[in-house]
Amino acid sequence: MAASSSTEERRRQVLRAIVADYIASQEPVGSKALLERHQLNVSSATIRNDMAVLEADGLIAQEHASSGRIPTEKGYRYFVDSIHDIKPLSAAERRAIQTFLEGGVDLEDVLRRSAQLLSQLTHQAAVVQLPTLKVSRVKHCEVVVLSPFRLMLVLITDTGRVDQRNVELDHPIVDEDVHRLRDHINHALVGKTLHDAAHSLTQMEVPEDIKPPLRRCARILIDTLVDRPADRIIMAGASNLTRMAFPASLPMVLEALEEQVVVLKLLANVPDLGDVNVFIGEENENKELHGASVVTTAYGSEGAALGGLGVVGPTFMDYPGTISKVSAVARYVSQVLAGE
């Protein structure tokens, strides 16, 4: 948009107005409507000329000869990059988010609630990643006797994640040996990352008299720590997408959301805490999401990112509002995890 600074600024205003009107209505925007809805203080001929320049620059497009213009993906990107101030949430919205998240009984409940909140606030599909195993450290491993021949191991990490596994024994175990078992396991695990904890289990010295049950417990824990599938994803609100004037690519988008690997990739490279990524249409690595936009950020504790969260919606989403709500939910999740 090479022109004088005042002309460039006006064309930026025209582009922002077209994007805002299209987001609100999903109808092509004409010059007459722009003049009626926005204080542009120029003639309709000037607006038409500006729209012709914006179209030549690939920022807007005309679907039909007689219709108004709609933003292109390049136009949305220009619009998103020009957002300097995130739209603040109302006091009522902030209170509702905080109250709802603080009602979570554990980490997974808090994250499940955050997914529900995001989908309700944005009317889009929300995805939340449970804390990545790489940053989790073992806080405690409880050993519970279910019967003389069966134990339950409850592994708790410092991110609040809880895994339970049953262990079948060949011989009955007495309470005194259960206590010794617990002490040996925790000595090997506590304070270590999950990868290091698994290695520590393979190296620990095992007393002969409790060797069989301890070895069996260690094998189960190593399977849980190292050989488990990828981190789980919590999703909410995918049905919201079916109620929108979504393009023909909706079935592909919904199919992609069902693929945990695809969603994990979306959340694998979230930005630093406090920053937000926006991927529009073909900017998304997965071709099934080329008809959608994705807004993601990180949540965490003590300055470290524990996982990602975000929303998937149409390219005509309300970008300022969505960015604001994704940021706010991540911030409150982080505060809840930090006990603030």
Q: Residue 45: which CATH number?
A: 1.10.10.10
Pair (120, 173) in one structural domain: no
User: With 80 as the cut, is the pLDDT of residue 39 above it?
Assistant: yes
The residue among 225, 257, 276 that closes a domain is 225
Pair (28, 110) in one structural domain: no
CATH number, domain with residue 155: 3.30.390.10
101 versus 259: the higher-pLDDT residue is: 101
Pair (18, 72) in one structural domain: yes
Pair (167, 295) in one structural domain: no
Domain that includes residue 28, residue range:
5-81
| Residue 133 binned pLDDT confidence (cut-offs 50, 70, 90) | low
% the chain with pLDDT above 70: 94
Average of pLDDT values for 33-57? Answer: 91
88, two tokens: 């603040």
> How would DSSP label each residue in 39-95?
---S-HHHHHHHHHHHHHTTSEEESSTTS-EEE-HHHHHHHHHT--SPPPPPHHHHH
* Range of lowest pLDDT (12-21, 288-297, 331-340): 331-340
Reported pTM? 0.74
Pair (26, 48) in one structural domain: yes
86 inside domain: no
Mean predicted lDDT score pLDDT of the chain: 87
199 inside domain: yes
The residue among 191, 225, 259 that closes a domain is 225
- Counting the structural domains of the chain, the total is 3
56 inside domain: yes
For the chain, where are the alpha helices, taking DSSP H only?
A: 5-25, 31-37, 44-56, 73-81, 91-102, 107-122, 175-189, 194-203, 211-225, 250-258, 260-268, 319-337
